[in-house]
């Protein structure tokens, strides 16, 4: 049954509607944007991430601390599956001995609930079925049925600048034309620049600025989608770790463990509000996003 014509569904998915109102529930959508290796404090106090800074100011910014080792494989596994390192068994980027089979990523959870999904990533282990991992379930049947769209670019081999540009462009089109119910979008150039030049280098700042522009492209696509469709979108932005001044990560230095979840809601008129008195964990991110889908 169409959720728009089912009063029970409306009551369940639209807690903002009060008795006596005739407002119908809008279709709800979620997007999680992952920016690898972002020093969040620098990004929010500096001049290189104006889009992210404005997004965090307009919505909600929840600080969180990543589990050690602060490496991409374990970090994104925790963020995307909601399981801690001890459960998913990913402790490095080889994924050796992982137990991802015992977890369910948040896109698969959304799919199980009947939602369409998109994964657009420039680091193959996140989603490429031919890579180590992958963290996100491939779900070939869903892809063939048009319920899951997968776009992978190999930034590790061919460089992240172009790979991230492709990912942002694909995401813009997908949001405009299809409006998938649940999406994960990953951008990797900031981490690459941190490794090559260090976390306080002009090259790192330039990468932050380019990725911030990609974030702007994605947020513009959501805003346009909301203006052309009567939908209620929740966008989240996060990172898996920071970078040392000289470049590199993996340890427990606060500049490495410090992360965040920035949330912004589009098309509702009511802010998405997480109780900021509760300190969230990386493993809470997918649950918080999914709660918007109802």
Query: Which pair of structure tokens corresponds to residue 173?
Result: 């089109």
Of residues 249, 229, 111, 120, the one with CA closest to residue 177: 229
Distance CA 41, CA 43 (A): 5
Write down the least CB distance from residue 156 to Zn ion, Å: 11
Contact letters for Zn ion, residues 157-196 (x by CB under 5 A): ----------------------------------x-----
Write down the least CB distance from residue 273 to Zn ion, Å: 29
Q: Does 72 bind Zn ion (CB under 5 A)?
A: yes
Please report, as residue ranges, which positions from 83 to 142 form the binding site for Zn ion (by CB under 5 A).
none
Write down the least CB distance from residue 10 to Zn ion, Å: 41
Q: Which lies closer to Zn ion via its Cβ, residue 13 or residue 238? A: 238
Q: Which lies closer to Zn ion via its Cβ, residue 36 or residue 142? A: 36
Q: Which lies closer to Zn ion via its Cβ, residue 72 or residue 78? A: 72
Please report, as residue ranges, which positions from 193 to 252 form the binding site for Zn ion (by CB under 5 A).
240
Cβ neighbours for 117, distance < 8 A, ≥ 6 positions apart: 107, 110, 111, 142, 147, 148, 149, 180, 181, 182, 183
Write down the least CB distance from residue 239 to Zn ion, Å: 8
Write down the least CB distance from residue 275 to Zn ion, Å: 28
Q: Which lies closer to Zn ion via its Cβ, residue 171 or residue 259? A: 259
Number of residue whose CB is nearest Zn ion: 72
Please report, as residue ranges, which positions from 8 to 67 form the binding site for Zn ion (by CB under 5 A).
36-37
Q: Which lies closer to Zn ion via its Cβ, residue 241 or residue 292? A: 241
Q: Which lies closer to Zn ion via its Cβ, residue 27 or residue 251? A: 251
Write down the least CB distance from residue 138 to Zn ion, Å: 21
User: How many residues make contact with Zn ion (CB under 5 A)?
Assistant: 5
Interacting residues with Zn ion (CB under 5 A): 36-37, 72, 191, 240
């Amino acid at each position: 049954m169409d959720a728009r014509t089912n009063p029970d569904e409306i009551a369940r998915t639209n807690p903002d509607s009060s008795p006596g109102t005739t407002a119908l529930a809008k279709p709800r959508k979620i997007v999680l944007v992952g920016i690898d290796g972002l020093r969040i404090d620098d990004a929010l106090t500096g001049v290189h991430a104006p889009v992210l800074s404005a997004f965090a100011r307009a919505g909600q910014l929840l600080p969180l601390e990543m589990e050690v080792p602060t490496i991409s494989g374990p970090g994104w596994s925790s963020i995307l599956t909601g399981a801690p390192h001890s459960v998913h068994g990913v402790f490095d980027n080889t994924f050796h001995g992982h137990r991802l089979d015992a977890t369910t990523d948040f896109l698969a959870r959304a799919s199980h609930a009947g939602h369409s999904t998109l994964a657009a990533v420039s680091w193959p282990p996140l989603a490429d079925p031919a890579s180590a991992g992958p963290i996100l379930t491939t779900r070939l049947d869903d892809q063939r049925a048009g319920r899951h769209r997968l776009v992978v670019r190999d930034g590790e081999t061919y460089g992240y600048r172009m790979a991230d540009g492709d990912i942002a462009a694909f995401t813009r089109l997908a949001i405009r034309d299809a409006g998938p119910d649940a999406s994960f979008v990953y951008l990797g150039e900031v981490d690459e620049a941190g490794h090559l030049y260090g976390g306080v280098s002009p090259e790192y700042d330039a990468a932050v600025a380019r990725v911030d522009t990609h974030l702007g492209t994605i947020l513009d696509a959501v805003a346009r989608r909301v203006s052309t469709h009567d939908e209620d979108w929740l966008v989240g932005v996060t990172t898996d770790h920071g970078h040392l001044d000289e470049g590199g990560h993996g340890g427990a230095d606060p500049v490495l463990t410090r992360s965040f979840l920035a949330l912004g809601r589009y098309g509702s008129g009511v802010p998405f509000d997480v109780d900021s008195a509760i300190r969230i964990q990386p493993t809470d991110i997918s649950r918080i996003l999914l709660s918007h889908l109802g």
